[in-house]
A and B are shown apart, each in its own frame.
Chain A
Amino acid sequence: MLLIHCPYCDDTLPELEFAYAGEAHIARPADPSKLSDEEWRDFLFIRTNVKGVHAERWRHIHGCGRFFNALRDTVSDRFLTTYKAGEARPDVQTLEAAE
């Protein structure tokens, strides 16, 4: 089972307390009526689905109820870090250097 750190509760807890909520940092278009069909496709359906470090949203549903972001390696399923919603995506190199 994954152990996930909620940056709001500042506690590392079992996966069962959390709900996965898809790829992170996909911003809703500022002016939706200006988008072409291709841009809508990219926003709605295209995902990086990366084999490697993935930025993703999680929600602490059985705890504080808040959404936060995580960097996780999709090959090993290891979490590199979690961070609060609204914060920029941390740089992987700096993270690894800090370890």
Chain B
Amino acid sequence: MTHFSGFSLLKNALSGHKNWPEQWPDKQPKGEYDVIIVGAGGHGLGAAYYLAKEHGITNVAVIEKGWLGGGNTGRNTTIIRSNYLYDESAKLYDHALDLWENLSTELNYNVMYSKRGVMMLAHNVHDVQSFQRHIHANRLNGVDNQWLTPKQAKEFCPPLNISPDARYPVMGAALQKRAGTARHDAVAWGYARAAAKRGVDIIQNCPVIAIRRGADGSVEGVDTAKGFIKAKKVAVSAAGHTSVVMDSAGVRMPLESYPLQALVSEPIKPVFPCVVMSNTVHAYISQSDKGELVIGSGTDQYTSYSQRGGLPLIEHTVAAICEVFPIFNRMRMLRKWGGIVDVTPDRSAILGKTPVKGLYVNCGWGTGGFKATPGAAHTLAWTVAKDEPHPINAPFTLERFTTGRLIDEAAAAAVAH
């Protein structure tokens, strides 16, 4: 595998970029691994990378039913932030943010992490109070987050309509300056390449059909489209399909899977300097480096695995965008798509051990797990390697739904992304 550098770029430029070697081999499964990870999204690939790099466990396979990064990792609107309300969440997302800062160097792959700032709009008195509460809680946790008046919000994001008679009046905003976006595909590719370099097998087009358990109940391996593969440790990181995979091991999950949609516009010159989220009207927008406006909506109301979602939601989102940013009224949209997101009752992730020996799970990231990718992957690898919780993921257990010790970001209204 070539190391990317100014020199290698120049060298390959001279030969017309025709001699770049493949970035990772497409592997066929071996008979047995120390660890199998189900799902080659950013979370699963990242966990494989940290298992190899930080714990010396390299006999690892990441098994993917489609192509790597083809799940929510490659379908999301790439908003990265850490200003969640509860201490547990703040620690987890801020841990991820710390890792994002150096990820490109660490992976020798440009993930285009851009700290352009994420601004969340307050449209009513409830929003104002709730955001200010978040800001205070965040500051106590050392998490960057600040309050902007409508005028300051407009200075930060000139296309914003702050006229007081707007349909969705802007009463202020919460700004996390350290937040931003990253290139979603590059995150999957970067982790895949760095993991493969350390000996991890990435096996694509190979659905895991069932998790097999032995007589004593512990994990024995997985049945796949390419046959049975042995492993004493299996980590499920299958996002919207987690319930289905866990069901095969006899573990029922507190999850529901919903479609979440996004769309992009035709590319235009840079007009939009930051990310703006409006949880109240469910409209999320930024501009990609290619120039497209990237727009996200809320989930559809019904559970589904159709990876599609309904048009009424897109209509609602686009209407909201046009109200808040009237300059985009006449933009044309190029394409829309959906992903299936796994939602927990308290809107916090589940990350850790399960009642089954050798079975680990990382799921429930719902509409907002891209931002957590490095943090989730890093602490999942720790838990799998040591068979114990990492101090940061320890509160995010499956048991909390039995004990009632929820991490209720749902009630905290820090919804989505």
Contact = CB atoms under 8 A, between A and B. Distances in A.
Interface stretch (B203-211, B271-279, B302-310): B302-310
A72 interface: yes
Interface string B292-313: 0000000001111110101110
Interface stretch (B92-100, B213-221, B250-258): B250-258
Given A42-B252, A74-B306, 10 more contacts: A15-B312, A38-B402, A40-B402, A47-B243, A47-B254, A49-B303, A51-B244, A74-B305, A75-B304, A77-B306
Interface of B is mostly: loop
B2 interface: no
A77 B311 CA distance: 13
A50 B257 CA distance: 9
Interface string B366-402: 0000000000000000000000000000000000011
A19 to B, nearest CB: 7
B241 interface: yes
A76 B306 contact: yes
B401 A45 contact: yes
B306 A75 contact: yes
Interface of A: 1-2, 15-16, 19-20, 37-38, 40-42, 44-51, 54, 56, 72, 74-77
B256 A37 contact: no
Contact of A45 (B301, B312, B345): B345
A56 B302 contact: yes
B403 interface: yes
Contact of A46 (B252, B257, B310, B312): B252
A77 B401 CA distance: 29
B394 to A, nearest CB: 19
Contacts of A72: 302
Nearest to B257: A49
